[in-house]
Amino acid sequence: MDERGEAAHEADDFGLSEDDVRLYRQLRRGDDGPEADDPRLANLRSVGIVFTEPLTDRPSTRPLPHVERELIRRELDEVERRIRRIRRIPSVLGALDRAGAEARPDTDAIEIVEGPTAVHHLLHNAIEASTAVWSSQTRPRHPERLATSTVRDVALLERGGVRYRSLYPTSARTRAPETEYARRTAGTGAAESRTSSRRFPRMVITDTVALISDRRAGEGKDEPAIAVRDPALLAWLREEYELHWEAADPWFPAPADGPSDRELIERDILRMLSEGGTREAIARTLEISPRTYTTYVAALRTRFKVRTNEQLMYELGKRQRATVADG
């Protein structure tokens, strides 16, 4: 057992050279050692007793469960921080509402709209009167409702006078109804859809009103929406939307030299692994099952010719550094 109460590897058990054993013990003591890309670590990595720490990008002998526990603790800390921010939202909205009421007595800057009927009615009227619509979806859309929306939106776009931008999670590329919606609306020449693995709120922004719902309950649920009409807040929301939009990947029409849907998901998995994401967190963010995640990671390990995620991160970093050096 080591000083953390965890089972310790003994380098002597693997038939390594004296230099390898000496280097391993140096790392275990925490002395200043080699960089993660030092070729002297190759033998230690090959037997699985040294890997690159995702938190420090340094070579380490720490058992992976210890690192995972630390990552989970950090995730929990981040969740707690977000919960504290969420609890502040009602008071912030109240202050904005009061400020709007004082400045414009006949206009509600922010309103909570209850029930799907009221939300859909408000949204339909706003879209009909707008020249541009920015929307973002965070969950799978109901197939039957989406089919109805496809017919309606294509007719509206072909009529002219309005343009659509739609933002979806990367996982939407694997769902036929949403893929068909993106393809058909893009075919009108007045709409564009993009996908991203990054978190963004579910909302629709028009010329006169924005409807926001970040409950992530999915379509068809009786969830309230926040209706924003204040011009300054609308401008700010559009700026926030544009930040997500610029970082997203075009869907239809896809760039001729752009990555495939599978490559996009693999790229997102690699990025989140390099940021310390766990299997559960990555699968939840990408909205794929843990089994699908495992299939993607297995394919990545085969392609990079490695056996563990730590070795995968090491090879990825080495290739990225080589690309930068060549550039």
Tens-place pLDDT, residues 289-308: 888 889 999 999 998 888 88
**Whole-number pLDDT of residue 43:** 79
Neighbour-count burial of 235, counting CB atoms closer than 10 A to its CB (0-12 exposed, 13-18 middle, 19+ buried) = exposed
**Whole-number pLDDT of residue 193:** 94
Residue range 34-75, pLDDT digits in tens:
777 788 878 777 777 777 766 566 777 666 566 566 667 777
**The token pair that represents 34 in the structure block:** 């080699």
User: Distance between the two ends of the chain, CA-based, in angstroms?
Assistant: 46
CA distance 56 to 67: 11
Count the helices and strands in the chain (H runs, E runs): 11, 10
CA distance 267 to 175: 19
- Find which of 66-75, 78-87, 98-107, 197-206 is predicted with most confidence, using mean pLDDT: 197-206
Q: What is the DSSP letter of 132?
A: E
Q: Within 104-199, where are the H helices?
A: 116-128, 143-159, 176-186
CA 272 to chain centre: 8
**Whole-number pLDDT of residue 98:** 60
Q: Given CA atoms 286, 292, 294, 298 in this order, what sign does their dihedral have?
A: negative
Residue with the larger pLDDT of the pair 55 and 275? 275
Q: What is the DSSP letter of 306?
A: -
User: Residues 274, 316: contact at Cβ < 8 Å?
Assistant: yes
* 144: amino acid identity, one letter: E
Residues near 307 by beta carbon (within 8 Å), at least 6 away in sequence: 48, 301
Among the residue ranges 22-26, 187-191, 287-291, 292-296, the one predicted with the least confidence is 22-26
CA distance 257 to 143: 30
CA distance 78 to 74: 6
Per-residue confidence at 168, pLDDT binned at 50, 70, 90? very high
pLDDT mean across residues, the chain:
78
**The token pair that represents 309 in the structure block:** 């995620």
Cα→Cα distances 145→45, 128, 213, 255, Å: 52, 18, 18, 29
Does an H or E element contain 266, and which?
helix 261-274
Interstrand relation of 110-113 and 51-52 (parallel, antiparallel or unpaired): unpaired
Residue with the larger pLDDT of the pair 325 and 60? 60
**Whole-number pLDDT of residue 154:** 93
**Whole-number pLDDT of residue 108:** 60
User: Residues 53, 67: contact at Cβ < 8 Å?
Assistant: yes
CA distance 24 to 38: 13
Choose among 118, 119, 112, 115: nearest CA to 94.
Answer: 112
CA distance 302 to 312: 10
Cα→Cα distances 179→157, 225, 258, Å: 17, 26, 17
CA distance 213 to 218: 10
CA distance 239 to 158: 27
| Partner residues linked to 135 by β-bridges | 166, 204
